[in-house]
């Protein structure tokens, strides 16, 4: 017997060591992920640079750059260091710095320094930032920062300064574990002290032996009370949740973060690439239909929100156009979009999507040309779908480029705000122009009509109508607008000059935007229903971001945006108390830098909010790492993924809502199996304690307690992790960080159930001695004085107290009552009539398996001897069921009170640190 106990204890030690090893492995993986995030940053550093050394330009490794070096950059170059512009070698220089600022469109750079106070990266138009990419133009700049002294370097430093914090569940489990340890220690000491009077009983053979005997009982009580399997079951439950979330396209990289989602109160969401597609797309077209009965302007809508050449064109009534290229204005818009363009659109088979090379607005025009299609084919545009994706990417654009030979190009310049290209087509020279509407329209003297293709002079009325439509596109709808025009040039002309850009014929006006994802609006509504606040955080300008927020429903609950929408500069200028109020009402923060995002997360955490941060860019990485749970997009940068806790494989913001529901369900299941294990262990404690207080023989042997702990606790507790979510899981408000995993009312329920489990076990033990047909039917006083049996005359043999039947009945009552108690834990408050046992077949199977194992040790002789048990009669089984089943009735009554009075609540107040870190501290 002792050998078996030693083996069992050794088995428990192995399990504990395995858990510790798993936790250590998780820690190592977490640290590795953090280091990987820093390594991924290197992918955004340029490898080479064109540097002025010894009086001439040469190509050198970017790592050799030092402040003061003169570097030349051009289209496609990755900026090798932070640099200040000193010379412009082309009409303009545009840089895509979305990875740093989150801006959806490229930024035009110039030589003049900014005059803005507290300038953010977006305001520094004369600075080229390391890691960003030149998309148009050529220039020279002087190096002002390398390595850690660059904007990208500050992101790295910010990630290094971020310490991983324990999740809310881990904190509360630690608190509960400390509390439980103190209670158990107190009870063990109390049991030992209560039995001091029994130390000298003859049965023990002396005072010291008696003290040691009751010390063993106290230790057995501690073994019974401590839920050794809790860490393993928690880990198992989180792992099960991770597997379910993977099916929802939410890939969990940090196991504890699964539960953190369930108590998320605020989602700080990046706009570009998260709420929007980060792909500029033409959504509106405006042309002049005719002027026979006064100016008649027609608007067309364009579907499709990505760079994929998939989408349709609709008239102002919403009817789809079958052959858009048959309309003169749309046909010439397609021509101009394809020819007056220096970008490329291609299909990447490895990533399975369409990618841009060059300016995003120009790529949007190329995609528009593909959606318009080609003229003269009845099978258009369906015939285009027969092409491979690689051919389809730019089929129509290539068609126009083959039809029109480019002769000369006038690049875009800041003063003209337009670009022109001269093309030759069948002995005819045509100039196509595109640019800012105010520049193009002012140079137009004629206009192309969409109804018949005629060209008519433009008058003041028509010019005013076009200006009105432009203002509507750019103002109310916050679209980025471009006007397109053409001009028939003299035969044989081979060059263009700025003087040629006059007397143009207006073709049309296009409005484009970085479109919101279609599924985001419903996800926003779900978040609000679940009591989760969404704050949109972006580097874009305020008006563009507010327009997107209106489209996705982030502002649906607001009448006025004042006090809900801020730029980072406006927010920093607020006094501390007003910042506190602003944090509680904020729905949008614009013109932010990476440091602002991290600062916002910290400030919300100081207000006891549980913050989830979503993002996809390098600029999001520090905030993703600092947040309670960082959520990266699957198509985002490797840096963002490495810094995150979870990755959305489908880039779908709506997946977050499903993940939150799963996180809440996991937390509820965690509470349920904690409740099951603790209430069962309390029952074991009560059993031992009551037996010691009453002075009756030991109800359970230590080996029997170990068996109950190892088998009956583990299997059902693990199966509880498969409980289905409650139907109203996303209708409840998020739980507070301060909310204990075991509340006062819930712990009272533990005690009631545990007390019944323990008393039922003792009752089964006493029943066999007093009432059982196969028992001795002793008076109760004889049972209490069992230890003096050898010293006095009795009508029964003293060996009756060594019979294995009473402890077998007690042990079986404990096992069966715990199985019924497992059914109680299908839901915290819902009745078994609402959530029946078969709703969790894993739990039913675990209960059946547990009972089969228990029956095995009762009726197989070698095992029954090892565990000091014996076979039971049908009558004994009936009594066991009578004693066990009432635990369900008791818990149903407690659930009824919980549903109707919400139990007993204990509220604790925590001091709030509301003010944001001051700018001076942040800059240190």
Number of Cβ atoms within 10 Å of the Cβ of 620: 35
Listed residue (746, 759, 580, 777) closest to 678, CA to CA: 746
Q: What angle do CA 343, 345, 349 make, to 5 degrees?
A: 150
Let me know if 53 is exposed, middle or buried by CB neighbors in 10 A (0-12, 13-18, 19+): exposed
Tokens of 674: 């904690």
**Residue 264: how many CA atoms within 13 Å on its side-chain side?**
37
| Token reading at 414 | 């800041």
Say which of 96, 201, 270, 514 is annotated catalytic. Answer: 270
Query: Comparing C-alpha atoms, which of 324, 306, 328, 307 is closest to residue 315?
Result: 324
What whole-number distance in Å separates Cα of residue 536 and Cα of residue 130? 26
DSSP character string of 695-748: TPPPSS-HHHHHHIIIIIIHHHHHHHTTPPPPTTTTTSPPPPTTS-SS-HHHHH
Tokens found for residue 179: 């509390």
* Residues found in the chain: 924
Q: What is the DSSP-derived secondary structure letter of residue 64?
A: G
Q: Tell me the C-alpha distance between 133 and 735, whole Å.
A: 44
Residue labelled with tokens 């299909």: 347
Specify whether 560 is catalytic: no
Q: How far is CA 353 from each of CA 101, 308, 383, 586, rounded to the nearest angstrom?
A: 24, 7, 21, 35
Q: Is 654:519 a contact under the CB 8 Å cutoff? A: yes
Nearest residue to 543 via CA among 468, 614, 474: 474
* Residue 273: DSSP 8-state: I
Who's near 60: CB < 8 A, 6+ residues apart?
48, 49, 51, 53
Please tell me the distance from the alpha carbon of residue 483 to that of residue 464, in angstroms, as a whole number: 15
Cα separation of 423 and 278, whole Å?
32
667 CB-near residues (< 8 Å, 6+ apart) = 169, 259, 262, 263, 735
Whole-angstrom CA distances from 463 to 288, 480, 913 are 11, 19, 57
Q: Which of 812, 694, 700, 679 is nearest to 751 (CA)?
A: 679
Contact 432, 484 (CB under 8 A): yes
**Measured distance CA(100)–CA(155) in Å, rounded:** 9
d(CA 149, CA 130): 10
Distance, CA of 921 to CA of 602 (rounded, Å) = 13
> How is residue 278 written in tokens?
């980060």
Backbone angles phi, psi at 384, to 5 degrees: -65, -25
* Cis peptide leading into residue 892 (ω within 30°): no
Identify whether the C-beta of residue 114 lies closer than 8 Å to the C-beta of residue 125.
Answer: yes
Cα–Cα distance, 151 to 136 (Å, whole number): 22
Residues pairing with 83 in the sheet: 128, 143
Do the Cβ atoms of 420 and 406 come closer than 8 Å?
Answer: no
The beta-strand segments (E) located in 538-633 are: 565-567, 588-590, 611-615, 629-633
Nearest to 549 by CA among 599, 596, 513: 513
d(CA 488, CA 504): 9
What is the C-alpha separation between 447 and 298, in angstroms, rounded?
Answer: 14
Catalytic residue annotation: 270
């Amino acid at each position: 017997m002792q050998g078996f106990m030693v083996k069992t204890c050794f088995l428990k030690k192995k399990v504990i060591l395995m858990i510790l090893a798993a936790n250590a492995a998780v820690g190592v993986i977490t640290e590795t992920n953090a280091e990987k995030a820093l390594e991924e940053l290197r992918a955004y550093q340029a490898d080479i640079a064109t540097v002025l050394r010894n009086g001439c330009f040469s190509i050198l490794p970017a790592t050799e750059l030092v402040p003061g070096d003169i570097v030349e950059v051009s289209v496609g170059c990755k900026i090798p260091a932070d640099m200040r512009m000193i010379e412009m070698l082309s009409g303009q220089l545009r840089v895509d710095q979305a990875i740093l600022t989150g801006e959806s469109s490229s930024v035009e750079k110039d030589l003049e320094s900014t005059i803005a106070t507290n300038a953010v990266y977006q305001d520094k138009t004369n600075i080229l930032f390391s890691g960003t990419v030149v998309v148009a133009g050529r220039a020279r700049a002087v190096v002002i920062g390398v390595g850690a002294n660059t904007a990208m370097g500050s992101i790295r430093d910010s990630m290094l300064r971020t310490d991983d914090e324990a999740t809310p569940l881990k904190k509360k489990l630690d608190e509960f574990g400390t509390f439980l340890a103190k209670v158990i220690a107190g009870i063990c000491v109390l049991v030992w002290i209560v039995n001091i009077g029994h130390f000298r009983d003859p049965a023990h053979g002396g005072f010291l032996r008696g003290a040691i005997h009751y010390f063993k009982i106290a230790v057995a009580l501690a073994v019974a009370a401590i839920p050794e399997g809790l860490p393993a079951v928690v880990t198992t439950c989180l792992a099960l949740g991770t597997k379910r979330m993977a099916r929802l396209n939410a890939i969990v990289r940090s196991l504890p973060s699964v539960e953190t989602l369930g108590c998320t109160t605020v989602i700080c969401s990046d706009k570009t690439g998260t709420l929007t597609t980060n792909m500029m797309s033409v959504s509106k077209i405006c042309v002049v239909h005719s002027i026979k009965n006064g100016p008649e302007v027609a608007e067309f809508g364009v579907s499709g929100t990505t760079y994929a050449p998939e989408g349709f064109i609709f008239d102002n009534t919403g009817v789809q156009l079958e052959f858009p290229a048959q309309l003169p204005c749309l046909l010439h818009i397609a021509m101009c979009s394809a020819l007056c363009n220096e970008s490329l659109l291609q299909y990447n088979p490895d990533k399975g999507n369409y990618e841009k090379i060059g300016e995003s607005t120009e790529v949007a025009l190329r995609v528009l040309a593909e959606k318009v299609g080609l003229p003269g084919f009845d099978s258009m545009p369906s015939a285009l779908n027969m092409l491979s994706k690689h051919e389809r990417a730019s089929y129509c654009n290539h068609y126009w480029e083959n039809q029109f030979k480019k002769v000369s190009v006038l690049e875009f310049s800041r003063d003209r705000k337009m670009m022109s290209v001269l093309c030759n087509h069948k002995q005819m020279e045509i100039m196509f122009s595109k640019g800012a509407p105010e520049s193009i329209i002012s140079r137009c003297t004629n206009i192309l009509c969409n109804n018949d293709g005629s060209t008519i002079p433009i008058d003041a009325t028509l010019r005013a109508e076009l200006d009105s439509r432009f203002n509507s596109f750019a103002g109310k709808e916050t679209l980025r607008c471009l006007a397109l025009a053409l001009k028939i040039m003299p035969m044989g002309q081979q060059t263009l000059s700025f003087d040629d850009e006059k007397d143009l014929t207006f073709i049309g006006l296009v409005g484009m935007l970085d479109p919101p994802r279609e599924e985001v609006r419903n996800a926003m509504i779900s978040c609000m229903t679940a009591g989760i606040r969404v704050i949109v955080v972006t580097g874009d300008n305020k008006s563009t971001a507010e327009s997107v927020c209106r489209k996705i429903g982030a502002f649906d609950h607001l009448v006025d945006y004042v006090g809900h929408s801020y730029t980072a500069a406006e927010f920093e200028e607020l006094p501390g108390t007003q910042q506190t109020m602003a944090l509680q009402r904020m729905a949008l923060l614009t013109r932010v830098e990476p440091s602002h995002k991290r600062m916002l997360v910290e400030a919300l955490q100081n207000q006891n909010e549980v913050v989830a941060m979503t993002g996809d860019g390098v600029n999001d990485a520090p905030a993703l790492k600092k947040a309670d749970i960082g959520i990266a997009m699957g198509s985002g940068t490797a840096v963002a993924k490495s810094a995150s806790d979870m990755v959305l494989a489908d880039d779908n913001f709506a997946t977050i809502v499903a993940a939150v529901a799963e996180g809440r369900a996991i937390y509820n299941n965690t509470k349920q199996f904690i409740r099951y294990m603790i209430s069962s262990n309390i029952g074991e404690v009560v059993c031992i304690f009551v037996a010691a207080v009453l002075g009756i023989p030991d109800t359970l042997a230590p080996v029997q307690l170990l068996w109950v702990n190892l088998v009956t606790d583990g299997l059902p507790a693990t199966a509880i992790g498969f409980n289905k979510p409650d139907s109203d899981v996303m209708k409840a408000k998020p739980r507070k960080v301060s909310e204990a995993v075991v509340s006062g009312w819930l712990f009272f329920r533990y005690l009631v159930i545990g007390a019944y489990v323990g008393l039922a076990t003792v009752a089964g033990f006493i029943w066999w001695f007093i009432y059982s047909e196969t028992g001795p039917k002793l008076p109760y006083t004889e049972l209490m004085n069992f230890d003096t049996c050898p010293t006095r005359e009795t009508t029964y043999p003293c060996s009756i107290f060594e019979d294995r039947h009473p402890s077998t009945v007690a042990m079986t009552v404990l096992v069966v009552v715990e199985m019924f108690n497992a059914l109680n834990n299908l839901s915290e408050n819902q009745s078994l009539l609402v959530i029946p046992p078969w709703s969790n077949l894993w739990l039913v199977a675990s209960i059946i398996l547990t009972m089969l194992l228990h029956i095995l040790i009762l009726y197989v002789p070698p095992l029954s001897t090892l565990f000091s048990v014996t076979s039971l009669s049908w009558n004994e089984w009936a009594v066991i069921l009578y004693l066990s089943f009432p635990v369900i009735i008791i818990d149903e009554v407690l659930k009824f009170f919980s549903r109707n009075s919400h139990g007993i609540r204990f509220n604790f107040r925590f001091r709030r640190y509301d003010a944001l870190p001051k700018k001076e501290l942040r800059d240190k």
